[in-house]
């Protein structure tokens, strides 16, 4: 039998700096950040729903703000993920050869035209690092997906922002501003987040004639699987003006796996090997993404469910006197009919009732809230809580 343990209070360690000269202590100030980094705010582009739950003490009953696929991944993808977990002790194939082979057959290109990364977010960061030096001009829309601007700021690029036009990104204005400032990159999301709008593929093809020499179009197609036929432009794979980004986070239901890819002309795609994290994607994510990619029936079913959910969100909004914007994505922008302050009040009132949604950041688009396509039970909760949230917001505004 073990003898009882006697607990002895241990005195705190001595202050080892107490006898040091003040000048020496002052020198021990920690890491020496470059001025560019020191001047940046410590922030992230998005506040996650988990953080909002911790801050409020309220658990969300309907998670309708992150544009994840609430319909989940293909059962075949889940099975592949589980099977691969047994070999998680192995590093993933840094060339992503199996995934590339499947995509090459679908995109009619070679392996040197595709690069994988930690979602589109990670790949946008690599692109900015490849092309942007401090002081270089970059063009985006004011209120567009903020992670791109986040990366540009981190590398010292100078952001030039163009306003939306009719709640859509203005290609002509974007390309004109790029010519004015000699931009290294123009960012365009098609379909767009946060408004859900899209340009036709033909319109993008024709607009490329306006893209200035030496400017690269970063075409973010995260939501392309939900868009109408003809939304994706027909652009030659060896066209050096364009790099396109797609993801397994949306229609394929694998946001947590962080699998994105970019494709385009070989010289630019190969340059990613100079800087990318070659082991960024884990082995299970590779296997799951490959199985998801091969399950076309599941993808078709998800896109149909998303269309049905968008229609129901529209009916719920209309029944409450709100307008909806046309959407080519897995979310709907709902016009709350006033200004950003009112829309924010609606968002906060919904959050207090356990419904997580988001909203655009910039006026006049911030008059809207953005609601992700959800399961029937999620939309039941939205339908139940929206009238009270609107009433509270209107009382506050009044």
Residue spans of the domains in the chain: they are 49-65+297-397, 79-294
Please state the pTM of the whole predicted model.
0.90
* Neighbouring residues of 319: CB distance < 8 A, sequence distance ≥ 6: none
The CATH architecture that domain 79-294 belongs to is 3-Layer(aba) Sandwich (3.40)
pLDDT along the chain (398 residues), means of 10: 40 55 61 88 81 90 96 97 95 94 97 97 97 98 95 96 97 98 98 98 97 97 98 97 98 96 98 93 95 98 98 98 98 98 97 96 97 98 98 90
Q: ∠ at Cα 360 (59, 317), nearest 5°?
A: 70
The C-alpha angle with vertex 257 and arms to 252 and 263, in degrees rounded to 5, equals 65
Tell me how many helices (H) and strands (E) the chain has.
14, 12
**Angle made by CA atoms 286, 288, 293, in degrees to the nearest 5:** 95
Conformational region of residue 247, where left means phi above 0, alpha means psi within -120 to 50, and beta covers everything else: beta
CA dihedral 148, 150, 162, 221 (to 10 degrees): 20
pLDDT of residue 237: 97
At residue 112, the pLDDT reads 97
Give the pLDDT score at 313. 98
**pLDDT at site 20:** 58
Q: Which residue has the tokens 């970063």?
A: 218
Tally the residues of the chain: 398
Q: What is the pLDDT of residue 4?
A: 37
Q: Specify the CATH architecture of the domain 49-65+297-397.
A: Alpha-Beta Complex (3.90)
- pLDDT at res. 93: 93
The residues pairing with 264 across neighbouring beta strands, listed in sequence order, are 243
């Amino acid at each position: 039998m073990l003898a009882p343990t006697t607990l002895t209070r241990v005195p705190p360690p001595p202050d080892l700096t107490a006898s040091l000269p003040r000048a020496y202590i002052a020198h021990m100030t920690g890491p020496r950040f470059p001025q560019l980094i020191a001047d940046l705010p410590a922030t992230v582009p998005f506040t996650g729903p988990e953080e909002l739950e911790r801050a409020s003490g309220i658990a969300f009953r309907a998670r309708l703000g992150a544009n994840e696929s609430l319909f989940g991944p293909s059962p075949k993808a889940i099975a592949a993920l589980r099977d691969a977990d047994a070999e998680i002790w192995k590093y993933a194939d840094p060339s992503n050869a199996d995934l590339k082979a499947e995509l090459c057959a679908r995109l009619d290109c070679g392996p040197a035209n595709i690069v994988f990364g930690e979602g589109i977010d990670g790949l946008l960061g690599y692109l900015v690092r490849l092309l942007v030096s401090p002081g270089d001009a970059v063009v985006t829309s004011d209120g567009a997906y903020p992670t791109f601007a986040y990366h540009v700021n981190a590398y010292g690029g100078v952001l030039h922002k163009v306003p939306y036009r009719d709640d859509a990104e203005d290609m002509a204005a974007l390309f004109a501003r790029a010519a004015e400032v000699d931009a290294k990159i123009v960012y365009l999301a098609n379909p767009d987040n946060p408004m859900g709008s899209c340009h036709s593929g033909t319109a993008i093809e024709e607009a490329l004639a306006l893209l200035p020499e030496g400017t690269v179009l970063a075409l973010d197609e995260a939501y392309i699987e939900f868009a109408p036929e003809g939304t994706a432009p027909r652009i030659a794979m060896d066209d050096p003006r364009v790099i396109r980004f797609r993801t397994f986070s949306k229609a394929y239901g694998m946001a947590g796996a962080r699998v994105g890819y970019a494709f385009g002309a070989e010289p630019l795609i190969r340059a990613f090997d100079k800087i990318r994290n070659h082991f960024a994607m884990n082995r299970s994510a590779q296997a799951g993404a490959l199985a998801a990619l091969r399950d076309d029936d599941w993808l078709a079913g998800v896109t149909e469910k998303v269309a049905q959910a968008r229609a129901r969100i529209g009916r719920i909004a209309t029944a409450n006197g709100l307008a909806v914007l046309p959407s080519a994505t897995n979310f709907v922008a709902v016009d709350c009919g006033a200004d950003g302050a009112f829309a924010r009040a609606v968002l906060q009132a919904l959050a207090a009732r356990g419904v997580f949604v988001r909203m655009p950041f910039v006026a006049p688009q911030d008059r809207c809230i953005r609601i992700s396509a959800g399961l029937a039970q999620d939309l039941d909760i939205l339908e139940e809580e929206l009238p009270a949230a609107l009433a509270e917001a209107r009382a506050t505004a009044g």
